[in-house]
């Protein structure tokens, strides 16, 4: 029983919600469980507030009653027998009907039927994710472990539940590697053999680009993607991203440099959001010839913005690195104009691809300082000085920014003197 774990490792508000849900389940006479990753992480001592509830009965009807009791918004997905509860304090609960599923053919989406908690857990990917905790009042906190998940957590093993797991859903292979890397676990002997079989059967070729990209995004967003990518190579899986992609010293060095750049960025910008997976995808595409990159763009449904950033990293970085690495002195304003407009992801691949410290220093200065520099004077101040808006107006503001970046002006008075000189130059012409 993990009642103590629930109370010590979850926020008090969530524990109260789970207790209320359990009491409601008793009144409705349905068994209720919290399942999956939250239970796994609870037993590992890792914070995970993504709560998935499973009802042996009508999950949607239960979710609607629970939503009323908690005064939460309820979003229903009839087709899957699931609902999402959005609580007023920002927490959310996913509620599902206990179900079993079968696959008409390998890589197909499953056909789902209502079932028991035991069968519901059997359709999960790995034993460590096939754990449930009872929420009903009597037995609140009891762990249901039909398939040896607790043993595998203790032994640090990733193990599938049955021999057809990867045939049914080959994306589970990428998930296995992701969890192996994240938790420092190892693949079970039988599971590793089943992965080798899935590779021989070429099952991954049948996966849509969309499904494979979703798994790659998750894998490349992990804390240490280099380790996971190397594992893909060891299991002969990189070729399913593209046949020309393979492990090499060059890829090893680039991924190490990317990890260093990403770690630096995370320390610098705790609140700033960046698509980490995109940085590593830039690194993988860097290893491919031009024709193969075009193939990758056809296969994977990147958004327009993602594709634009990936292409910029591929095509535009070389010229920027060459300019920044030049032995001739380069002024802060020149660095600003070279780098402004580039995404943070592109700036990180620039840092990783550059061999010397010069480029890294320039990119670092841009991210930490140059991009935040603004002149004291604004357009309104220029109008007050008698200047009329127009092409000259913008030119003066641009030159004012350059002078500020290069520390040629430091005070408001110096800025005003510069504006007067620039305006007079225009008048003289």
Q: Does 417 fall in a domain?
A: yes
Whether 428 has a pLDDT exceeding 70, the answer reads no
Q: Please, which pLDDT band fits residue 270 given cuts at 50, 70 and 90?
A: confident
| 323 lies in the same domain as 260 | yes
Q: Does 227 fall in a domain?
A: no
Q: Please, which pLDDT band fits residue 172 given cuts at 50, 70 and 90?
A: very high
Whether 200 has a pLDDT exceeding 70, the answer reads yes
Mean per-residue pLDDT, 357-366: 90
Q: Does 223 fall in a domain?
A: no
Q: Lowest-pLDDT range, 64-78, 124-138, 167-181, 369-383?
A: 369-383
Q: Does 221 fall in a domain?
A: no
Phi, psi of 248 (to 5 degrees): -155, 165
| 339 lies in the same domain as 389 | no
| 309 lies in the same domain as 403 | no
| 19 lies in the same domain as 147 | yes
Provide the residue range defining the domain that includes 334.
245-372
Q: Does 200 fall in a domain?
A: no
| 387 lies in the same domain as 343 | no
Whether 113 has a pLDDT exceeding 80, the answer reads no
DSSP symbol at 326: -
pLDDT at 163: 92
pLDDT at 429: 45
pLDDT at 75: 94
| 28 lies in the same domain as 149 | yes
Mean per-residue pLDDT, 109-134: 88
Query: Which residue from 389, 388, 412 is spatially nearest to 400, judged by alpha carbons?
Result: 412
Length of the chain as a residue count: 429
Average pLDDT of every residue of the chain:
91
| 270 lies in the same domain as 322 | yes
Note whether 366 and 339 are within 8 A (CB). Answer: yes
Max Cα distance, the chain (Å): 90
Helix H segments across 316-390?
Answer: 317-324, 332-339, 344-353, 357-368, 379-384
pLDDT at 107: 62
Whether 427 has a pLDDT exceeding 90, the answer reads no
Q: Lowest-pLDDT range, 99-113, 231-245, 406-420?
A: 99-113
**Dist. CA 36–CA 65, nearest whole Å:** 23
**CATH assignment at residue 319:** 1.20.58.1960
Q: Does 73 fall in a domain?
A: yes
Q: Does 210 fall in a domain?
A: no
Domain count, the chain: 3
Q: b/e string for 167-204 if b means 16 or more Cβ within 10 A?
A: bbbbbbbbbbbbbbbebebebbeebeebbeebbeeebb
Whether 191 has a pLDDT exceeding 80, the answer reads yes
Report how far apart, in Å, the C-alpha atoms of 416 and of each of 23, 380, 381, 409, 412 are. 71, 13, 9, 9, 6
295-333 pLDDT, tens digit each: 999 999 999 999 999 998 888 788 888 888 887 889 999
Residue of higher predicted confidence among 32 and 273:
32
Mean per-residue pLDDT, 353-363: 88
Could you say which of 129, 155, 181 is where a domain stops?
A: 155
Could you say which of 121, 155, 189 is where a domain stops?
A: 155
| 122 lies in the same domain as 263 | no
- Token pair 């229903």 is found at 76
Burial class of residue 48 in the structure, from the number of CB atoms within 10 Å of its CB (0-12 exposed, 13-18 middle, 19+ buried): middle
Q: Does 240 fall in a domain?
A: no
Could you say which of 372, 388, 405 is where a domain stops?
A: 372
């Amino acid at each position: 029983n993990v009642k103590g774990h629930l109370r010590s490792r979850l926020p008090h508000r969530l524990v109260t919600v789970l207790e209320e849900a359990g009491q409601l389940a008793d009144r409705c006479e349905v068994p209720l469980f919290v399942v999956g990753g939250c239970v796994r992480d609870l037993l590992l001592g890792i914070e995970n507030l993504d709560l998935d509830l499973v009802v042996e009965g009508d999950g949607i009807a239960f979710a609607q009653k629970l939503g009323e009791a908690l005064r939460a918004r309820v979003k229903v997905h009839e087709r899957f027998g699931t609902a999402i509860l959005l609580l007023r304090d920002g927490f959310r609960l996913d509620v599902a009907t206990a179900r079993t599923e079968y696959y008409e053919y390998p890589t197909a989406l499953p056909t789902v039927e209502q079932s028991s908690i035991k069968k519901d857990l059997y359709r999960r990917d790995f034993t460590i994710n096939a754990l449930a905790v009872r929420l009903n009042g009597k037995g609140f906190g009891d762990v249901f472990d039909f398939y040896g998940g607790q043993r595998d957590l203790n032994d640090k093993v990733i193990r599938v539940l049955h021999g057809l797991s990867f045939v049914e859903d080959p994306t589970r292979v990428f998930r296995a590697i992701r969890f192996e890397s994240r938790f420092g676990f190892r693949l079970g002997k039988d599971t590793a053999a089943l992965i080798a079989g899935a590779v021989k059967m070429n099952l991954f070729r049948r996966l849509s680009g969309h499904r494979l990209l979703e798994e790659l995004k998750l894998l490349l967003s992990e804390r240490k993607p280099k380790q996971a990518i190397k594992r893909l190579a060891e299991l002969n899986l990189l070729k399913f991203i593209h046949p020309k992609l393979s492990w090499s010293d060059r890829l090893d060095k680039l991924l190490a440099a990317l990890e260093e750049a990403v770690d630096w960025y995370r320390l610098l910008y705790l609140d700033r959001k960046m698509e980490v997976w995109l940085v590593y995808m830039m690194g993988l595409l860097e290893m491919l010839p031009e024709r193969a990159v075009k193939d990758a763009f056809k296969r994977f449904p990147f958004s327009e913005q993602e594709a634009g950033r990936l292409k910029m990293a591929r095509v535009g970085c070389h010229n920027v690195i060459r300019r920044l690495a030049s032995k001739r002195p380069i002024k802060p304003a020149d660095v600003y104009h070279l780098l402004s407009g580039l995404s943070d992801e592109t700036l990180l691949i620039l840092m990783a691809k550059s061999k010397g410290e010069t480029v890294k220093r320039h990119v670092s200065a841009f991210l930490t300082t140059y991009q935040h520099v603004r002149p004291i004077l604004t357009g309104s101040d220029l109008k007050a000085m008698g200047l009329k808006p127009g092409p000259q107006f913008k030119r003066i503001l641009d030159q004012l920014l350059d002078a500020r970046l290069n520390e040629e002006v430091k005070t408001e008075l110096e800025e005003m003197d510069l504006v007067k000189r620039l305006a007079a130059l225009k008048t003289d012409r």
